Each structure stands twice: as C-alpha cells, then as structure tokens.
C-alpha cells in the first residue's frame, strides 16, 4: 500500500514502507524508508525507489523539526533573479535545498513550475503545507544534493540554490555542480550562492583545505567549504559565467551562470 504524503496537481511525493506494504497495513512510523517521485517531465526514464540516507539526524532536519519554518522571506536578490528567469523564458525551476519552502512558494506565485529538493523531510512537509495553504502547485523531492539527483538529463530551465551546496567536502560539491549541469537544459540558467567566509568569532575546525566544521551552534558538525572568487570561478568552468559578486559584508558569494 502506497501512503501518499503530498499531492500538488500532477506533482506528488509518495512514501513506501516495505514492511507495511507486505502486510497490507499503513506504516507504523512517519519516518520514510524510501521514496518515489512522480512527475512526467522530471523523472529519469525508469521510475526508481531511492533509498533514503540517514537524513533523520542531519543538522537541517533537526533545525526544521525543532524550530519550524526558520526562514520566511526570500533571498534579498530574489526579485532580480525572478525577472532574469522570466526574461529568459524559464519555466521549470529546480529549487535546490528548498528547506521549508520560502523560494519554492514564491517561484510558484511568480508562475514558474518549481520542484523543491531538500534533505529535510520536516522542511518538505512545511513546504507542502505552505503551498496548499496558498493553493499553489509545485513538486517536492526528498534527496541529498551530495548524491546523484533523481532527475533526467536536461530537465530544468533554471536552477536556484542559496547557501546550500557549500555544506559538504569539496569532492561532493564538485559532484553537485556536475549534477546541476546535467539536469539543466541547453541555455538554462543557474543562480547559486555559496559561503565566502565563516561567521566572525565562530569556533571551527579545518578538516581539509578551505573546509571548516563548526564546533558549536545549530550547524555543528556540518562541513562548510569557504570559496574565494578565484576558486569559485574555477569550479564553474563548465558554465558561461554571467555575474559573480560578493555580498552580505563578504559572507555570501552570488553567481549567475548559463549552460551552453
């Protein structure tokens, strides 16, 4: 028996509990074991079950589960990015690291067809609830951006991701960049921000060159790779770089790129 967790138009996220399925009973626990995402234009050719990694204790799952919707307003440059996406005819948008839905909801309000992807089940639950309350349609996918994305090649007209992909070791970040490129269609745009410095006074441990792990706070134990502008440009060498700038008093590096 498939227990449907959310249905937004044709975009749905269905959770399967194998033990309950075999017994013909609903699952005993709300913690998903694996997921299958149905969407006619986003799935890889073969529908597949994605075994969920240990998401339950991921720092951002803990934050959303205990603190609720911690972000309400969109990123400061959001309206500029929306205008750019509209001017370039973008429709299908991947909100990578959507959290509790602040950008997925506003992308849907702006008339796009977004899919929000995040590692946090609690964040996605809040995203779906927010979308339903606004009577909006969008897809949601529970997945880890450090692993291959569960989408077909060239699915999206644009990717939107703010302060997400730097939360990993550099090798995994490079994998995420490759996956972003893979799921973008020709001439698609990506707006991505990463960290350009740690918070001042924060206690951290360096675990590889340029990668630091906070020792305290809500993100304790979560790697943060800090990019210089030169390094970030090098990592984006498969894209046409349209704009790179450092904002928020040197803390955030923003980039707008195109897949040629």
- At 244, the pLDDT band (50, 70, 90 cuts) reads very high
Residue 1 lies in a domain: no
pLDDT in the model for residue 110: 97
Residue 190 in domain: yes
Residue 99 belongs to domain spanning: 54-258
Is 133 a residue whose pLDDT tops 50?
A: yes
d(Cα 210, Cα 89) in Å, to the nearest integer?
37
Helix or strand or coil: residue 237?
A: coil
> Would residue 24 count as lying in a domain?
no
Give 117's contacts (C-beta < 8 A, 6+ positions apart). Answer: 94, 95, 96, 97, 98, 140, 141, 142, 143, 145, 149
Q: What is the mean pLDDT of residues 43-70?
A: 58
Residue 149: inside a domain, yes or no? yes
Residue 48 in domain: no
Burial 179-192 (b: 16+ CB within 10 A, else e): bbbebbeeebbbbb
Tell me how far apart the alpha carbons of residues 130 and 134 are, in angstroms, rounded to a whole number.
Answer: 6
pLDDT for 34: 33
Residue 212 has pLDDT above 80, yes or no: yes
DSSP structure class, residue 197 = S
The CATH number assigned to the domain holding 66 equals 3.40.50.150
Pairing of strands 50-51, 252-258: unpaired
46 versus 83: the higher-pLDDT residue is: 83
Q: Which residues are paired to 184 by β-bridges?
A: 156
- Region 209-226: mean pLDDT is 91
pLDDT of residue 148: 95
27 pLDDT higher than 60: no
Residue 15 lies in a domain: no
Q: What is the pTM of this model?
A: 0.79
79 vs 71: which has the higher pLDDT: 79
Residue 20 in any domain: the answer is no
Strands 211-214 and 224-225: antiparallel
Count of structural domains within the chain = 1
Give the range among 1-5, 61-65, 175-179, 195-199 with minimum mean pLDDT: 1-5
Give a yes or no: residue 221 inside a domain. yes
Summarised one tens digit per residue, pLDDT across range 145-172 is 999 999 999 999 999 999 999 999 999 9
In angstroms, the CA 164 to CA 118 distance is 10
Span 86-132, pLDDT tens digits: 999 999 999 999 999 999 999 999 999 999 999 998 999 999 999 99
| pLDDT for residue 70 | 78
């Amino acid at each position: 028996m498939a227990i449907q967790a959310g249905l937004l138009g044709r975009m749905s996220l269905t959770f399967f509990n194998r033990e309950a399925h075999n017994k013909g009973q609903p699952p005993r626990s709300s913690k998903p074991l694996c997921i299958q995402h149905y969407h006619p234009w986003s799935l890889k050719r073969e529908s597949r079950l994605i075994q969920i990694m240990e998401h339950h204790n991921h720092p951002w799952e803990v934050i959303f589960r205990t603190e609720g919707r911690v972000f309400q307003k969109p990123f400061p440059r959001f309206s500029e990015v929306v205008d750019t996406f509209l001017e370039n005819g973008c429709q299908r948008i991947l909100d990578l690291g959507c959290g509790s839905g602040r950008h997925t909801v506003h992308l849907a309000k702006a008339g796009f067809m977004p899919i929000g992807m995040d590692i946090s089940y609690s964040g996605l639950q809040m995203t779906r609830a927010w979308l339903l309350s606004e009577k909006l349609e969008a897809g949601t996918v529970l997945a880890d951006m450090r692993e291959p994305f569960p989408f077909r090649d060239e699915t999206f007209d644009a990717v939107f991701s703010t302060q997400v992909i730097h939360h990993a070791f550099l090798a995994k970040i490079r994998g995420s960049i490759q996956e972003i490129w893979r799921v973008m269609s020709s001439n698609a745009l990506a707006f991505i921000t990463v960290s350009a410095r740690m918070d001042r006074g924060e206690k951290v441990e360096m675990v590889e060159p340029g990668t630091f792990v906070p020792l305290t706070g809500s993100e304790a134990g979560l790697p943060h790779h800090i990019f210089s502008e030169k390094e970030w440009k090098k990592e984006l060498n498969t894209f046409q770089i349209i704009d790179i700038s450092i904002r928020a008093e040197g803390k955030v590096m923003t980039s707008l790129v195109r897949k040629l």
